[in-house]
Structure 1
Amino acid sequence: MASWTEIHCQCCKMASIQTLVAMRLSDTIKPEAKKWLISILETPSKHGGAQILVHPGEDDEDNILLLSATECLLMQTTEQLGLAKPDHQGSMAAFSYRNRNNFLNSAAILIETRIESLQILKGTCLPGYPEYRLYPGQHLVHNLRKWGIIVQFYPVHDKEQLNHLKKRWYKEISLAPQPIDDVRAYFGEPVALYFSFLGFFTFSLTAMVLLSYVPAFLQDSSDKYIIFAVFNVLWSTVTLELWKRHSSTKAYYWGTLKLKRYFKPPRAEFWGTLIRNPITGRLEPHYPHWKQNLRILLVTLPSICIFLGLAVDGMDMYLHWEKWTKSWYAKSTSKMAVLGLYLPSVCYTLYMEILNAVYMRLAKALTEYENHRLESTFQTHLTIKVIVFRFINCFGVLFYITFCLQDLQLLRKRLSSFLIVSQVINQFNESLVPYLKQRLKLDSVWLKKSKVDTYPFIDEVVSEGNMFSYPGLFDDYMEILVQFGYVSLFSSVYPLTAALLILNNITEIRTDAFKLCQIFQKPFSYPAATIGIWQIAFESIGFLSVITNCFLVSISPEIQALCRKYELRPEQTLLCMLVAEHLLIILKLILAFAIPDEPEWLQLKIMQMEYRSQQAFKKCLDKASTTNGYSQMSAMEGNIQNGFTYDASSQRR
């Protein structure tokens, strides 16, 4: 019977080892390749390995590797990532492995980053596969996945913690807030930030719902448009600014607020000619920027323009169909003809959703084709592609109806169709379809094992591997962005927008939580402090809402009647709208600067953290100068400040 890797560190001796990650290998993998891979995973990091604990499964012939890590390794990873932990005084401080006894606990960082970052030091052939050649600087796991040697690589659930989280998160019916800290402890910061933002955004919509009752107390109906428009603009600004304060507070207590800015290694999927990096001295792939720009210019841009043309053509066909339907309804005497009025909107919404799904796959393929070096650059380019297309596809017809047709009745109809039909389609695709697929998949697996009475732990690991891989948070954030656009840009003409979104999001929180816990594999955890580029996308729509709301006010029947009453010409009305627009933009900027991104007490805590880090750094330098001399002190200073060893000889070359 195989066993775990022997633990040599006396302080890390454990009575039992908890499996953190599973790696499923090919059924036809050769024994020498498996032994070589296990040795690489077990080898200390100073010799080019991952230094993790490996269990080869039930026996040496099994194709499942169980992976874990010692407490010391997890603490060292915590320090390398620059995470902060609470000390015995209750203050957050950058974690130090050397002074680990001064901290209350050490969070377990998943070992995926150590394994994914494994690079080949010496060129060699994969044992047992002479046709597969590994070159220095290449990512080991990425190449083994590409060749089919590694089939799956996923974290393993902790059943006890998961059941406790499910009970508090979505099984109990209560008005209690989400257990965001528990979600973060189990699934990591990115997932916790998404659910926290979804709950924060949903709660902020209650102000919109309460405002919808204001017109009932107003004698002048023209005032309601002005009140809604001004409130939309201020609401979007205050909501996003308060969210930044909320997320920074969460990131502080999670220890991710001030992550170290290391020299970032290239993506595993990045390819090019291997050259020596002039900064780190390591062999890394290099791809010229001019070739990347050429791919963007000749392939990416034409492909995006084709899909944008399809979106515009769909919008044009919908408008013509809508016009024909109105004329047909005016001549029809059938009582069922009213249903035909909504047929163009429903069909166009279905067309939009299909086009969004197809374009998403294209955008990922195009971004991979562009061959970006960093993961952050890859995600930025992908997000920009999708946001531009979704904006045209989802909001293009609404802008055309607003600014060209100036038909508020058609705008309300189109917006209500978007909200209702899109939500039904999203709930069906995101919840019911994955659940049915997973049930059918699991039923087929259990039928094969129906003759077995008991299942060892390895069977539970295999069953988790049969779940669907977690698709990430991209589509979830995009859905919130579209909702934010509907409510901030056009809800002044359709006040029910906020109420419909609240009902949808309450269900969305529970269904997303259910999918994460029951349907998909557990995702890997990465440190994060903010929602990233999505914050910029939300703020951009917030500024655009100033233009749309001012224009909607100017074309409303009540305001138009008021202008005719005071004999205002169209150009004078336009001038008033432009003045109001500029005043609201100035007001948005004042609010953004008046609400700090971090509370005052948090700014003080951050300064205390930086002060303590400087004092600790000076002590390290003083100790190094007295024991090892000036040369080692300089080397330590370079390593601590830069996060990597500077290769002076490479720089001279």
Structure 2
Amino acid sequence: MIGHGGGERTAFEIGVVVPRRGLKKGEEGNDWVEVLVDEFRKAGLIVDRVIGCQEEFLKLAAPLETLGRAAAELQLKKRTHIGMDLLFEWNQAEAFVRQPDGSLFSWCERFQCYLHIIYGVVNKHESGSTLRYDCKEFHGKLGESLLQKLVSKGIVKEVFPLHDELKRKQLLRNWALNFWDFTRQPLDQIYSYFGSKIATYFAFLGLYTRWSLFPAVFGLTLQLFDFGSLQLLVLPVFFISIILWAVLFLQFWKRKNCSLLVRFGLTALYLIAIQYFNKIGGKISVNLIKCEKNESTEYRADSLIYKVFGLFFMQSYIGIFYHALLHRNLSTLRQVLIQRLIVSQLLANLMEHSLPYLKYSYKKYRAVRKKRKREKGSHTGKAQFINRVEKEYLKPAYSASVGEELEDGLFDDFLVLALQFGMIMMFACAFPPAFAFAALNNITEIRIDSLKLLAMLKRPIPRAAATIGAWLNIFQFLIVVSICTNCAILVCFYDREGKWKIEPGLAAILIMEHILLLIKSVFSRIVPEEPDWVKADRMMNATQARDVCSKQLLRNISGNEKVFSRAEMTGGAMGQFDEKKSS
């Protein structure tokens, strides 16, 4: 962390990994890496060289002015105080809106500027010049990207984001380890530190958890109290309430999303087998995606989500559908749901958080072991890491289990939420207390995911995302499916003898199914997706922008007319002067 007077604090945010040099005594030290460090400093970056156990690290930081000039070169568009998005200009920086934490650039914008600067450093030596690294010689071309050259030659192993220790500790204290606020999260700080995509995920998870409290209390009430003969009436009421709850939840999430845009056992073995085959299916889906002709990376990512979720949907629910619709044994169905909810969630959390730690521990052990072998005989004692940057380098990246080139780790996190939502919704009448378990699990999930991002993994590369994308359509699809499955469960509950007679109770269930489908469609259209204050703010900004453009246009016209009138006056005076001169 570096401070400079009067401006934003500057922290090391990018790490560049190169192998440790094996220079012999008396050999010159001028090489590619030293040239790279010099060029980084000439480009305005602050560089700190750190020697680790088996690698060497270059920690990079950029003062605000360096980032500002890079943003101007990239022609980044930023929001101004009048509500318009304009191309950024460093000499007009005060005109642009700052981030919630007071910084001028978001983490995503800063990361783009860093990449522009470090990959924009070019070789300024003469063409065909020879440079050396660790007894190896390379020929560089004049004007080529120096960092790209080193990456292609294997000298630069990786470029990765570094955690900002001050902000990381603040988030640990105010978010990950703050167990008093069950669902409230510092979304502005999360957005400023991780970017919009991760902040959107935690905003969705927090809203989903808060809304889960109502069906959790309702479901526990049905489980704990015996309603006797009214049980036949209570379950349909619970079912209708749950469907309306789910529809309203997704509609209010759309409103929340608009405001964010403005702000910014055998069962265990079976589940392990499901995860294994799902991963294989995910790889197949990735290969299918590569054969498709999608317009952009976002479309490719959405297509991948639909394909992989379809595989998970069939493999995760096929056994439950058997008990619910074919076997028609509600007591067995409840046991299966309990096993799936508890075992699957525990297994997912165990795999999700133990594997990164085991990978990190193994890499750390290997690094320390290699250092001991290299320094054998020089000194005794336990080898220690010299700097935190090497610990961050050894941590696993936040990546998806399938399609790493299209999606990050949020793919797996959203997949767990979607499967949980489908399970508690599609079989709500069979096991109402499932909502209580889901709410408790989601409260825990907020803390576990935050700790995973802040302490167990590398700082994720920021990805720009304004919505949850294809996952919203998947949640909508699950609501429609849940209407059908719960109606089928109620039919089984009423028609225990299996005679399938159209009695008043069964007829009411069929009518209720059509009414609920109609209500879902109506609610999706009645409840506005954009809050009134967002709409008013957008219209006000548009009006201000139009007024500013009109005034600027009038100034330009007035200026041109004045210039034109001066030219006419000058021309007339010159004509009179010529007439006098000729006379």
TM-score by length of 1: 0.67
Q: Displacement of 1:116 after TM fit?
A: 5.3
Q: 1:228 to 1:133 in 2, by over 3 A?
A: farther
Partner Cα separation in structure 1 for residue 207 and residue 178 of structure 2 = 20
Q: Which residue of 1 aligns with 2:319?
A: 397
Q: Deviations over 1:518-549 (max 9, x none)?
A: 11111122343222221121112122222112
Letter paired with 1:209: A
Question: 1:533 maps to which residue?
Answer: 470
* Pair 1:580-2:573 in alignment: no
> In 1, distance between residues paired with 2:214 and 2:152?
51
The equivalent of 2:390 in structure 1 is: 462
2:340 paired residue among 404, 415, 418: 418
Specify the alignment match of 1:166 in structure 2: 172
Equivalent residues in 2 for 1:455-494 (5 A)? 459-471=387-399, 472-494=409-431
- Aligned: 1:407 with 2:339: no
* More displaced 10-residue stretch of structure 1: 521-530 or 612-621: 612-621
**Whole-angstrom CA distance in 1 between matches of 2:435 and 2:145:** 47
| Map of 1:246 onto structure 2 | 256
Cα distance in 1 between the residues matched to 2:560 and 2:433: 71
Is 2:237 the partner of 1:227?
Answer: yes
Structural mapping, 1:19-34, within 5 Å? 19-25=12-18, 34=33
Report percent identity of matched pairs.
23
Confirm whether residue 53 of structure 1 aligns to residue 52 of structure 2: no
Report the counterpart of residue 61 of structure 2 in structure 1. 68
2:573 matched residue in structure 1: none
Alignment check: 8 A CA contact 1:12 1:71 kept: no
CA distance in 2, matches of 1:84, 1:427: 39
Question: Any idea what SS the aligned residue of 1:66 has?
Answer: strand
CA-CA distance at 1:131 after TM superposition: 10
Pair 1:194–1:407, CA change in 2 (3 A): same
Deviations 1:351-382 (A, max 9, x none): 21222234334444554576867321331222
Change (3 A) 1:345 1:22: closer
Give secondary structure in 1 for the equivalent of 2:430: coil
Q: Deviations over 1:111-165 (max 9, x none)?
A: 433465769999x99986999999x9x9997886566343222111221221121
| Aligned alpha-carbon RMSD (Å) | 4.4
The structure with the larger Rg is 2
Letter in 2 for 1:165: L
| Structure 2 unaligned residues grouped into runs of 5+ | 23-28, 373-379, 400-408, 562-583
Residue 438 of structure 1 aligns with which residue? 360
Partner Cα distance (2:161, 2:128) in 1: 29
* Aligned match for 1:510, one of 447, 456, 462: 447
Match of 2:578 in 1: none
- In 2, distance between residues paired with 1:415 and 1:116? 48
- Say if 1:415 and 1:63 are closer, same or farther in 2 by CA, change over 3 A: same
The residue type equivalent to 1:101 in the other structure is E
Taking the aligned partners of 1:626 and 1:40, their CA distance within structure 2 comes to 48
List runs of 5+ in structure 1 lacking aligned partners.
5-10, 44-50, 255-342, 630-653
Verify: 1:18 aligned to 2:28, yes or no: no
1:153 corresponds to 2:159: yes
Alpha-carbon contact 1:116-1:142 (below 8 Å) kept: no
Query: What is the deviation of 1:500?
Result: 1.7
Residue 426 of structure 1: CA displacement? 0.9
* Structure 1 residues 622 and 182: alpha-carbon distance in aligned structure 2, compared to 1, 3 A threshold: same
| Residues 121-132 of structure 1: pairs in structure 2 closer than 5 A | none
Render the CA deviation track for 1:90-131: whole Å, top value 9, x for unaligned: x86546645432446513444433465769999x99986999
CA 1:620/1:63 → structure 2, altered by over 3 Å: closer, same or farther?
farther
CA distance in 2, matches of 1:368, 1:481: 25
CA contact (8 A) 1:74 1:108 kept: no
Give the length in aligned residue pairs.
510
Distance in structure 2 (CA, Å) of the matches to 1:365 and 1:33: 38
CA gap of 1:356–1:199, structure 2 versus 1, over 3 A, is same
SS in 1 for 2:180: coil
Contact 1:92 1:253 in 2 (8 A): no
1:394-438 Cα distance to aligned partner (Å, 9 max, x none) = 122223333333332332222222111111211211123323443
C-alpha spacing 1:518/1:544, structure 2 compared with 1 (3 Å): same
Output the amino acid matched with 1:611: T
1:560 corresponds to which residue?
495
Offset of 1:239 from its aligned partner? 0.9
Is residue 206 from structure 1 mapped to residue 143 from structure 2 by the alignment? no
Q: 1:193–1:530: 8 Å Cα contact kept in structure 2?
A: yes
Rounded Cα–Cα distance in structure 2 between residues aligned with 1:592 and 1:37: 56
Q: Aligned partners of 1:178 and 1:486: how far apart in 2?
A: 26
